Chain A
Amino acid sequence: MPSSYRGGAGRVLALAGLSGLVAVTGVAFYGLIGFSGQVADPGTLQDPYFYGILGFSLKQAALSAGLSVLLGYPVARALYYLPGLWFRRTFLTLCLLCFVLPTLVLITGLVLLLGHSGRLAPLLGADWNLYGLKGILLAHVFLNLPFVVRALYLQLLHIPDTAWRLALQLGLPALTRWRLVEWPMVRGRLLVLGGFVFVLCFNSFAVVLALGGGPQATTLELAVYQALKYDFNLPEALTLAWVQFAIAGTLFVLLGRLGGSSWLVLEQGGDRVPVPGRWSRLGHGGVYLLCALFLLLPLLVLLPALADIPASLRLAPLLQALLNSFLLALACVIPATLLAWLLLWPQRLAQLQQRPRRRQLLEWLSTHTLAAPAMVLSVGWYVFVLPRLDLAQWGPVLVVLLNLVLTLPFALQQLRPRLLQFDAQYAPLCAGLKLAWPERLALEWRWLGGSLRAAFALVLLLAMGDVAVFALFGNEAWTTLPWLIYRYAATYRMQEAALASLLLLVVCGVLVWLLEQGRDGGA
């Protein structure tokens, strides 16, 4: 039906939004290039140190992605095949929380648990060291495995009931059922998820910064940061950034090609999964339990901080910082969600018009900030605006803008499959019914339901956990909670820092829980 769908005004708006988004990245690079007068420093590429960094970035990202997917798949299966699992919904909420957990909080938890004198240290043997590759992998898996679990579980839910009925009716053995019914459904998704986690970990900054432990564990993003900040060597930073952008960006293009079709799942299956036998029930239960333990322990270990509240603790600045964080995140989440919906409009149109290349290009452009080095975006903007604007006045706007740009891909990712599904099912009906804009909009918002809430939660919490952007553009007049944690700690107030981390965790938990309320299917 190539010509039957037309874009209208929405498309013009969306293209304007997309241009704005690309301009944000453009300005950042322009800021750095304009200041240094150089696009890159080819000398950087001749330094063996560079190849060490590149190798490590790739290695840890590949391992993190592989582990997250390999470990996440059995957990998703356990959730799918045992619908009666205890606390299943709570577990899925926990998964979302873990994915958006401020790194700061996670690191504290991991150190308390697995550090040199952590709670579990006696079990780990004398040679155990959290820092280095092991720690990075642990943290990356902790952050990304829950994401994989949720996404795969959702994918499994899409297996149509009829497929199972047919498979059971034909008396197919378990392995054949898996090969014929389950595997084709998850295969594409596994690859896409693995790739996505790879990109996230390839660009990882905070985790590597905290757990990297020295020159042998440095990623490109971290090296960009060091070059920018401590050597003020902009050409070197740009060179590293180009390399990072090129690798992550290429990967994204490949993912777009591979993963396109897997979004077009129409049927919504559900509760007619084959009942597993006793042993496999035990297996699923065990996997579920282990995963829950893995996700809960680093969080629970923070609780004892409550028993030791220092007398010097004052509640007012904590709450003020919390409020600031919340308002800034809210100012980011509403435009981010709207923009995501708007940017998807031409992509959906391209899909309906069966122009996959165009759709992939639009998709790539709208999510390119995931591949672009975040450090370059924020420092580039910093260099660009400092001589032009008064940060004291424009700081909040810039914090919101950059967080918006950095979290937008996550909102897009949540909304995209659901809207593509809407189109696949209802595009002819919508056109045939001659729906007016407001009616169409209301219909789509309602249809999005849980996906909208998930997008909202993701953006809200990712923005609330921001430290990197605030570090550049913020000031003490509107300190955010994560920044306050850094500040407490920088002035020896470790207990306050621990308590503030706990508060941040609790608030994030409550927000996720609220946003998950009343969503159907739990995924």
Chain B
Amino acid sequence: MNNAPALLNLAVLSLFAVLAAPLPAAELTVYTYDSFVSEWGPGPQLEKAFETQCACDLRFVGVEDGVSILNRLRIEGEQTRADVILGIDDGLLVETRATGLIAAHEVPLDGLSKTLDWQDADFLPVDYGYFAFVYDSSRIKAPVTSLKALVASDAKVIYEDPRTSTPGQGLMLWMKAVYGDQATAAWKQLAQHTVTVTKGWWEAYSMFLEGGADYVLSYSTSPAYHVVTESKDQYRAALFSEGHVAQVELAARLKTSQQPALAQQFLAFLVSPEAQAVIPVTNWMLPVIDAVTLPPVFSQLIEPARIGFTPEAVAGSRQDWIAEWRSAAVKD
């Protein structure tokens, strides 16, 4: 074997190291999920906008998804390099607070949208969305109008695993909110016409787009993407009469941060009109303040009633509910 490729490897590895080396000046490190910082996500625009006001270097660290942010905090503990975390959702709020690493955000909450009714002193909402079943209106003319109707139907359904995906957990809460103690029977009934339960949202959604099912569990905002980016308007979210469970994505700053003021400034920036105008059309979620101008399609989205549980209630019962789903959602 010759040495040239081995040397090349070394060169490449050291190049990686150099490229990734930290820069000087005041630095704010934000842990978030990977798609948030991808070039089509909100990350790049937010970074540019914030850096012009703060004279600092905003550094996003993308990890796989929301729960990975929490796991990373748990592992790193007090030694974490993060100043801010962004992208934990309300389902993980209690566990995140339990790490003891979170500091109060000190951002006034009165500017937030009233529908959210948000009071938490540690976590600040950044965007939110309702879980909803999305269908193709060119194929389904009379969509179901309630969760009970969907469960009782024989429509092909794809949803996500509540253990591994946020929408999946949302559906679990939704089922518990609608069926309560009868959830076991409902899961069983749903399993009879479930095409598959996927690990994550995109597996489910891409299968649906390829024609894999009649309904897919997604967000009420999903149709907006197809209109804005693809000019396709046949995808709709079904409005259910029982109400919908919401997901609220949160940001928080850490006690261990060396830049508490800068971190607080960034949190305030996240709920400013400037940032809130970016998030809906890049992250495809709803803004947490009202005074934001959005593409017209956002006004055509369904506006469901919100049902569900407090983060504390979710944290207290999640294990039981997952065990229930695990044994019930099996096809006969």
Residues of A that sit less than 8 Å from B by CB: 35, 49, 111-112, 115-118, 129-132, 209-216, 226, 229-232, 312, 317, 327, 330-331, 334-335, 337-338, 382-383, 386-387, 390, 392-397, 400, 445, 471-472, 475-478, 486-487, 489-494, 497
B210→A331 contact, CB < 8 A = no
A330 CA to B5 CA in the complex, in Å?
8
The answer for the CA separation of A289 and B1 in the assembled complex, in Å, is: 39
Contacting pair A334 B9 (CB below 8 A): yes
Determine which of A111, A132, A492 lies in contact with B210 in the assembled complex, contact meaning CB atoms within 8 Å: A111
Contact between A111 and B20 (Cβ–Cβ < 8 Å)? no
Q: Are B330 and A490 neighbours in the complex by a CB distance under 8 Å?
A: no
Task: Report yes or no: A209 in contact with B199, Cβ–Cβ below 8 A.
Answer: yes
Kindly state whether residue B117 has any CB partner on chain A within 8 Å: no
Q: Closest CB of chain B to A321's CB: distance in Å? A: 12
Cβ-based interface call for B314 (8 A): no
Please pick, from B21, B79, B195, B212, the residue contacting A387 in the complex, using a CB distance under 8 A.
B79
Residues of A with C-beta under 8 A to B325: 215
Contact of B195 among A116, A490, A492 (CB under 8 A): A116
B6 to chain A, nearest CB (A): 5
Q: How far is the CB of B277 from chain A (nearest CB, A)?
A: 18
Binds A, one of B59-67, B105-113, B243-251, B288-296: B59-67
Which residues on B sit within 8 Å (CB–CB) of A131? Answer: 195-196
Distance in angstroms between the alpha carbons of A77 and B8 in the assembled complex: 43
B residues apposed to A, CB below 8 Å: 1, 5-6, 8-9, 12-13, 16-17, 19-22, 34-35, 37-41, 60-62, 64, 67-68, 70-72, 74-77, 79, 81, 156, 161, 163-164, 191, 194-203, 205-207, 209-213, 222, 225-226, 229, 284, 319, 323, 325-327, 329-331
Measured in the bound complex, the distance between the Cα atoms of B6 and A338 in whole Å is: 11
Considering the chains assembled together, what is the distance between the CA atoms of A394 and B225 in angstroms?
Answer: 37
A112/B210 in contact, CB under 8 A:
yes
A491 touches B35 (CB 8 A): yes
In the bound assembly, the distance between CA atoms of A396 and B156 in angstroms comes to 42
Q: Is the CB–CB distance between A49 and B326 below 8 Å?
A: yes
Quick one: closest B residue to A472, CB to CB? B64
Chain A residues with CB under 8 A of B79: 387
Top 5 A-B pairs, shortest CB-CB distance? A117-B211, A131-B196, A214-B197, A213-B196, A331-B9
A330 to B225, CA, bound (A): 38
Instruction: Using known A-B contacts A230-B163, A232-B74, determine if residue A491 contacts B41 with beta carbons closer than 8 Å.
Output: yes
Complex CA–CA separation, A379 to B49 (angstroms): 35
By a CB distance below 8 angstroms, the chain B residues around A317 are: 39
> Residue A491 contacts which of B6, B38, B161 (CB distance < 8 angstroms)?
B38
Residues of B within 8 A of A334 (CB): 1, 5-6, 9
Residue pairs across A and B with Cβ atoms less than 8 A apart, 12 shown, are A49-B327, A209-B199, A210-B199, A214-B194, A215-B327, A215-B330, A231-B163, A330-B9, A387-B77, A396-B16, A490-B38, A492-B226
Q: Which residues of B contact A49 (CB under 8 A)?
A: 323, 326-327
**Complex contact B1–A396 (CB within 8 A):** no
Q: From known contacts A111-B207, A116-B213, A471-B64, infer whether A216 and B330 are also in contact, taking CB-CB under 8 Å.
A: yes
Q: A331-B13, A334-B5 are in contact. Are A487 and B20 (CB under 8 A)?
A: no
Closest chain A residue to B165, Cβ basis: A230
Query: Are the CB atoms of A115 and B210 closer together than 8 Å?
Result: yes
Bound state CA distance, A486 and B35, in angstroms?
Answer: 9
Known: A214-B194, A476-B37, A492-B225. A392 touches B61 (CB 8 A): yes
* Other A-B pairs beyond A115-B207, A212-B196, A487-B38, 13, CB < 8 Å: A118-B210, A215-B326, A226-B163, A229-B164, A312-B229, A331-B13, A387-B75, A390-B81, A400-B13, A475-B62, A478-B19, A486-B202, A490-B35
C-alpha spacing A390/B81, complex, angstroms: 9
Q: Are A476 and B34 in contact (CB under 8 A)?
A: yes
Q: Which of A312, A397, A489 has the most CB of B within 10 A?
A: A489
Cβ contacts under 8 Å, B191 to chain A: 214
How far, in angstroms, from A115 to B213 measured CA to CA in the complex? 9
Nearest CB of chain A from residue B45's CB, rounded to whole Å:
14
The binding surface of chain B is classed by DSSP as helix
* B-chain residues with CB within 8 Å of residue A130 when the two chains form the complex: 196
Q: A386–B76 Cα gap in the complex (Å)?
A: 6
Interface centre among B74, B81, B161, B323, by most chain A C-beta atoms within 10 angstroms, is B161
Determine the chain B residues whose CB is within 8 A of the CB of A338 once the complex forms: 1
Distance between Cα atoms of A329 and B70 in the complex (Å): 30
CB within 8 A of B330: which of A214, A229, A387, A393? A214
Contact A116 to B163, CB < 8 A, known contacts A232-B74, A475-B62, A478-B16? no
Report yes or no: B13 in contact with A396, Cβ–Cβ below 8 A: yes
User: Of the candidates A112, A232, A394, A493, which one forms a contact with B71 in the assembled complex, judged by CB atoms under 8 Å apart?
Assistant: A232
A213 CA to B205 CA in the complex, in Å? 14
B7 to chain A, nearest CB (A): 10
CB B224 to nearest CB in A, in angstroms, measures: 10
User: Which of B1, B196, B197, B209 is in CB contact (< 8 Å) with A494?
Assistant: B209
> What is the minimal beta-carbon distance from A201 to any residue of chain B, in angstroms?
18
**Smallest CB–CB gap between A219 and chain B, Å?**
13
Chain B residue with Cβ nearest A332: B9
Q: Which of B16, B19, B229 has the most CB of A within 10 A?
A: B16
Determine the residue in chain B with the shortest Cβ distance to A470.
B64
A211 and B196 in contact (CB under 8 A), knowing A117-B212, A230-B67, A491-B38? yes
**Chain A residues whose C-beta falls within 8 Å of the C-beta of B329 in the assembled complex:** 214-215
- Find the A residue at minimum CB distance from B19: A477
- Chain A residues with Cβ below 8 Å from B210 are 111-112, 115, 117-118, 494
Is A210 within 8 A of B20, CB to CB?
no
Partner of B8, one of A118, A330, A337, A387: A330
A395–B72 alpha-carbon span in the complex (Å): 15
CB of B146, distance to nearest CB on chain A (Å): 23
> From B214, which residue of chain A is reached at the shortest CB distance?
A116
Select from chain A the residue with minimum beta-carbon distance to B282.
Answer: A491
Chain B residue with minimal CB distance to A225?
B164
Residue in B closest to A445 when the chains form the complex, CB atoms: B1
Closest approach, in angstroms, between the C-beta of B98 and any C-beta of chain A? Answer: 11
Q: How far is the CA of A195 from the CA of B6 in the complex (A)?
A: 35
Tell me whether A213 and B212 are in contact (CB under 8 A): no
User: Which among B35, B61, B213, B323 has the highest number of chain A CB atoms within 10 Å?
Assistant: B35
With A226-B164, A490-B201 in contact, is A116–B75 under 8 Å at CB? Answer: no
A334 to B319, CA, bound (A): 46
Which residues of A sit under 8 angstroms from B196, Cβ to Cβ?
129-132, 211-214
A216 touches B13 (CB 8 A): no
Whether B331 and A35, one on each chain, are in contact in the complex, defined by CB atoms closer than 8 angstroms, is no
Please indicate the chain B residues that have their CB under 8 angstroms from the CB of A395 in the complex. Answer: 16, 20
Docked-complex contact A489 and B75, CB < 8 angstroms: no
Asked if residues A382 and B75 are in contact (CB atoms below 8 Å), the reply is yes
- Of the listed residues A111, A117, A490, the one surrounded by the most CB atoms of chain B closer than 10 A to its CB is A490
Nearest Cβ on chain B to A41's Cβ, whole angstroms: 14
